[in-house]
Structure 1
C-alpha cells in the first residue's frame, strides 16, 4: 500500500457516512475515526405555545473589543536629523545654506 492508496481511502472515508475504519494489509495498519456528523434523534419536545412580546425592544449594547497591551500617548511623532546623529556636524550643503542665511 503506497501513499496514493492511503489518500484515496481517506477521501472515500471522508465522503462516506462511516465513522470508524480499521484496515490491515500485510504490515500496514490504518485506523481512521471521525466524529458522527448526525445527531442522535431527540424526543419530541414541545415548544411553549405563548410568546411574550415586550413593548420596546432592548437596545443592543456595543462593546468595545478588548485589546492586549497598552497605549502610550506622546506629542512627539518623529525626529528628523539631517546629519547622521544629533552630535555630528551638519552636512556640507546644509552648512553652506545656514551660513548664507545668517
Structure 2
C-alpha cells in the first residue's frame, strides 16, 4: 500500500477546489507535480465527494514514520539546540553535567 505524509499531501492538493471527487483530487495532485506515492495514496481512497482537505486526510494512508527504537536512538544522539523538550537528548550523567567530563568511569 502506498503511503504519504501530511506535508506532501497538503502540497499536492494546495490548489484543489472543495468539495471534490476522488478523481478531481488525483488530477489536481498530478498537475501539482506530486510524487508517485502521494498519487497512489490518493488513488486508494474511497470514491466519494470530499468537502475539505481534512476529510481527505482522514482517508489517505499515511507513513507511520520511523520505528520507536530508531526514534529513541536519534533522540539520544541529537545535539540541536532550540528544539522542544521531547526532541532533546536524554540527560547526561550528573558527573558529566557538573564537571564537564566523566573522568574515565
Instruction: Indicate the TM-score class for this superposition, using the shorter chain for normalisation.
Output: under 0.3
| RCO higher in structure (CA 8 A, sep ≥6) | 2
Higher helix share: 2
What TM-score do the two structures reach when normalised by structure 1?
0.19
TM-score, with structure 2 as normaliser: 0.19
Asked which structure has the greater CA Rg, the reply is: 1
Task: Considering fraction of residues, name the structure with more strand.
Answer: 1
